[in-house]
Amino acid sequence: MNLGTSRVGATDSILVSLAHFDTSKTERLEIISGNHLSGRPLHPLLLPMKELRTLMLHQCRNLHIFIRAFHPGTSPSGIMVCPKLEELVLNVDIDEWDLDIQSVTEMVEARASRGAKLRTVRMVDGSARPKVDPADVLELSKHVWDAEYGPDAD
């Protein structure tokens, strides 16, 4: 499933529209230019996606909304969304990158402690000036099988 949009509010509309479909067998979700996500919780959308193995977010602002949704400690129902998630790809090749790598580390650590360890977290960043401290990537790598950051992480 590949979602792409650049219109204000359109990403929200597309994600809400997914709730009308059976997404229980979705294994891969790719969102391109999801720049206008609201603070609306993503749990209701993600809960049915029990088979989701790969999530790719390209040029999405408000990444913290996704990171919070995948953290098992923030689920209002106490249920972990997408328990089979193995691979998270964050293409952060935009200037206004709002990802807090400590939040990503906390999320993958919490998932691992509940038996849902991610295999891979890739943060693709082709900008000239790195946005992530290598020590933070090292800390992240303690909780996933493979943590990658940089222009070649794709």
Residue 146 pLDDT level (bands cut at 50, 70, 90): very high
Task: For residue 88, give both structure tokens.
Answer: 């998270």
Mean of all residue pLDDT scores within the chain: 80
Instruction: Read off the CATH number of the domain in which 130 is found.
Output: 3.80.10
Q: How many domains does the chain have?
A: 1
pLDDT of residue 134: 86
Domain that holds residue 104: 2-150
82, with CB counted inside 10 A (0-12, 13-18, 19+), is buried
Q: Of the ranges 2-6, 75-79, 101-105, which one carries the lowest mean pLDDT score? A: 2-6
Calpha distance 54→60 (Å, rounded): 16
pLDDT of residue 136: 92
pLDDT of residue 42: 76
Instruction: Tell me which of 142 and 92 has the higher pLDDT.
Output: 142
What average pLDDT does the segment 124-143 reach?
85
Task: For residue 122, give both structure tokens.
Answer: 């890739």
Residue 150 pLDDT level (bands cut at 50, 70, 90): confident
25-84 pLDDT, tens digit each: 999 998 887 555 555 567 788 889 999 999 998 877 778 888 888 999 887 777 899 999
Residue 3 pLDDT level (bands cut at 50, 70, 90): very low
Alpha helices, DSSP H only, in 71-133? 101-113
pLDDT of residue 9: 46
